[in-house]
Structures are given as C-alpha cells and as structure tokens.
Amino acid sequence: MKNPNLNNIEIDHLYHLGLDSSQDLNAMFGDVKFVCMMGSSLRIKDFAEKVSSSLGVEIPEEGIQPIGKTERCSLYKVGPVICVSHGMGAPSILIFLHELSKLIEYARASDVRFIRIGTSGALGLTPGTVVVSEGVLNGKLEPIFEQIGLGKTLRYETGIHLPLAEGLLQSRGDFEAVLGLTLGTDDFYEGQGRMDGALLPPYSEEESMNFLKLAHEKGVRNIEMESTAFASFCRRANISAAIVCATFINRLNGDQVTTTAEEQMKFSSYADELVLSYLRRTLLPLPLISNL
C-alpha cells in the first residue's frame, strides 16, 4: 500500500463510499482502468449511462444501480470505468480521492487513470468551449494546493498528466475545446471575485476585474473549485490525472450564470462527449481490417 499504515488495519472502512476492505474488492473492481469523477450525483448517473451505451456495456433492465452507500456520493461501475460523484469543493473531492485510491489498491487494479469532468466559468472564451487543463493554479495563482495538517500549512504541487490531457483534447468533436490553465478556488463567490454574493465583498468591481484579467494573462482559461485538490492528490499518489470542464459563462463579461438549463445541458454534454470519445479510443479493440 502507498500508506504502509494501512497494512496494520484489519478492515479498512472506506466510510464515505460505504465499502470496506473485507469485501472482495478485487472481484468487484480489479478490472478498472478509469475513474471518472463529477460533482453532481444526478449528472454522474447520466454519464454512467452514456459510458454504458458508448462502450457497449449492458446494464440491468431495472437501470444502472449504485454500489456502496448513496448518502455522500453515487458510485457506478460500467465495465472498466468507475463513475463517481464528488460533491463541490476541494475538501469534498479530497475525501473521495483518498477512498477511491485505497479502493483501487485493495482491488489490485493497475494503470488506472483519473479524469474529473466538471463545470466551470471561462476566462476569455465563448461559453460552451470545453477546457482541458494543462496545469492548475490556486486562488493565489500558484501551482500549489495548500492544506492544514496538525496545525501547520502544508503545500503540495499540483500536476496534470500532459499526455493524457493532450489525448483527451484530440478526442474533441464538433465543438470548441482548448488546453489552458485552470484556477481552483475554495469559494464560488469571494474566492472567484464575484460582486453578487450575499455580503458586500472586501474588494471593488475594478479590483475584481483586474484580478481576473491578470489570471487570464497568466494563461488561466477557466475557474472551478476542485482542481487544486485533485491535481495535487493525484500527483502525490502517482496517478495519471486530467481535468475536462464545460464552461457556462465568460467571467470577463460578468458574474451571473444566466445560461439556460437547456444550454447548460448542451455545454456539459460536450465535455462528456470528449471524454467518452477518448474512452472508446482507449478501451475498445481496434476494428479488424480484413483482406490484408
């Protein structure tokens, strides 16, 4: 195990997943090659169904069923792909990264790649453009995830697996997709310089716009809330990881998410399609070429 302390635990309770190491995790998850993560438990169910039809994996007549408990997340397994929701924000996704990483180790699954598929605000892009992260910055515009452990500030470098990111970008369909830096913040309102939270923010509109422009100049193309934890955890755990986000709004034009539910569904589906196309290319056997 990556954490030798785990060798001393008789049964490891993966508390938030509702699974434990006394189960035959190798039989359940030993063939996993991809873990696809999304914030919402509703969207991940929809994505799991898309994976099933995309890879030709049959699902039960009564519909796809979650594995483990559904109080904190929803986890589906479709062939070699785990599809799991992670909630919003770095602390929430970090819980699932720890427990999924342990799950993969207990299952003795090998060469597993993690892909986060998210929604985000864009910087300087037309809403609907898909952003594949080539790097991740925190709210201070550093490529670092800061967390507090035993009263001390710990700083971990963020890291993206560039070949995976580039492979994903090559799978784009009939929509815009770009590589860019992703800004991961710990708050949707003041953390992202919004003026429209419930409280008067401790900055002016001009200061906010200057900050967003500075981020844009540094190469930031989208803003969300999980990339720092995701990219630093996967780097520490030596997991190949990539982030693919839909964009709903260009933050250089305003704060409010005014795209309609229909547009949001369409824009989200672009990010889904890009990942599904990559999964197909990677997981399905090449078509046989006859008469050669």
* Binding residue (CB under 8 A) for a second copy from 34, 39, 66, 128: 39
CB 157 within 8 A of CB 254: no
Instruction: Confirm or reject binding of residue 224 to a second copy (CB under 8 A).
Output: no
* Nearest alpha carbon to residue 114 among 34, 233, 11, 17: 34
| Residue among 171 and 227 whose Cβ is closer to a second copy | 227
Which one of 48-56, 163-171, 181-189, 280-288 is the stretch in contact with a second copy (CB under 8 A)? 181-189
Kindly give, in sequence order, each residue whose CB lies less than 8 Å from that of residue 163, ignoring residues fewer than 6 positions away: none
Which one of 53-61, 166-174, 255-263, 276-284 is the stretch in contact with a second copy (CB under 8 A)? 255-263
Instruction: Confirm or reject binding of residue 89 to a second copy (CB under 8 A).
Output: yes
**Phi, psi (rounded to 5 degrees) for 41:** -70, -25
* Nearest alpha carbon to residue 246 among 148, 163, 122: 122
What is the C-alpha to C-alpha distance for residues 45 and 74, in angstroms, rounded to an integer? 8
* Binding residue (CB under 8 A) for a second copy from 17, 19, 32, 72: 72
Number of residues binding to a second copy, judged by CB under 8 A: 72
Instruction: Confirm or reject binding of residue 208 to a second copy (CB under 8 A).
Output: yes
Q: How far is the CB of 98 from a second copy (least distance, A)?
A: 5
Which residues from 98-137 bind a second copy, rule CB under 8 A?
98-99, 101-102, 105
Three-class DSSP labels, 172-222: CCCCCEEEEEEEECCCCCHHHCCCCCCCCCCCCHHHHHHHHHHHHHCCEEE
Q: How far is the CB of 72 from a second copy (least distance, A)?
A: 6
What is the C-alpha to C-alpha distance for residues 144 and 151, in angstroms, rounded to an integer? 18
| Residue among 7 and 291 whose Cβ is closer to a second copy | 7
* Binding residue (CB under 8 A) for a second copy from 256, 263, 281, 284: 256
